[in-house]
């Protein structure tokens, strides 16, 4: 059985990986701010009580699954997805990219102790698994976006480098 060449993160796909990772970081910060700044949402999730981490963790997995779906749809529309294993590799890159973007912010905000805590490992697992959950909602397929002159020029410039 021959496999077609798979470009998991070739020159054209790094753009979508970077964009989706940035979207994951921004939505993480926005969600944390909304939960911690909103008394109603904080009370509803039970923030501050023992066991409040579980609902927030579930919210994080759902958030990252949505981000993963958006990123995979971006890739499928522009480049196409050959199979679910390619989508899974890309989704893992989305979660890892989000973690790489947010870990230095944790280092700046809380010091080395905040980064070396178990929460950092939990974040990595949560974000990668959440993005992998998004693979279930995006079917492989051919590119579906109409030809865009601007994107074609960018791809041509990337290939010329």
Rounded-to-integer distance, Cα 18 and Cα 22, Å? 6
For 68, 86, 101, the CA distances from 152, given in Å and listed in that order, are 24, 23, 28
Rg (CA), the chain: 18
- Using DSSP, state whether 143 is helix, strand or coil: coil
Provide the whole-model pTM: 0.76
CA–CA–CA angle 40, 102, 107 (5° rounding)? 100
In angstroms, how far is CA 110 from the centroid of its own chain? 23
**The pLDDT of residue 26:** 94
Average pLDDT along the chain: 81
pLDDT of 132 higher than 90? yes
DSSP character at residue 2: -
Helix spans in 14-133 (H): 14-37, 39-45, 53-78, 84-110, 112-115, 118-133
**The pLDDT of residue 63:** 94
Tell me what the mean pLDDT of segment 24-32 comes to: 90
Domain boundaries, the chain: 14-160
Q: What is the pLDDT of residues 60-110, one digit of tens each?
A: 899 999 999 999 999 998 888 999 999 999 999 999 999 999 888 877 776
**The pLDDT of residue 116:** 65
Select the more confidently predicted residue: 112 or 100: 100
- Using DSSP, state whether 114 is helix, strand or coil: helix
Rounded-to-integer distance, Cα 72 and Cα 112, Å? 33
Residue 118 tokens read as 């178990």
Closest CA to 91 of 62, 129, 137, 63: 129
């Amino acid at each position: 059985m021959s496999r077609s060449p798979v470009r998991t993160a070739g020159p054209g796909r790094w753009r979508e990986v970077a964009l989706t990772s940035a979207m994951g970081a921004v939505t993480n910060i926005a969600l944390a701010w909304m939960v911690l700044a909103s008394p109603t949402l904080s009370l509803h999730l039970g923030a501050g009580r023992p066991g409040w981490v579980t609902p927030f963790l579930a919210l994080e997995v759902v958030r990252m699954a949505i981000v993963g779906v958006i990123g995979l749809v971006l890739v499928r529309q522009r480049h196409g997805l050959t199979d679910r294993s390619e989508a899974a590799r890309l989704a893992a890159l989305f979660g890892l990219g989000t973690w790489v973007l947010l870990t230095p912010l944790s280092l700046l905000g809380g010091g080395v102790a905040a980064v070396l805590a178990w929460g950092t490992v939990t974040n990595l697992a949560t974000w990668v698994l959440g993005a992998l959950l998004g693979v279930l909602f995006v079917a492989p397929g051919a590119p579906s976006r109409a030809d865009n002159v601007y994107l074609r020029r960018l791809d041509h410039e990337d290939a010329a480098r």
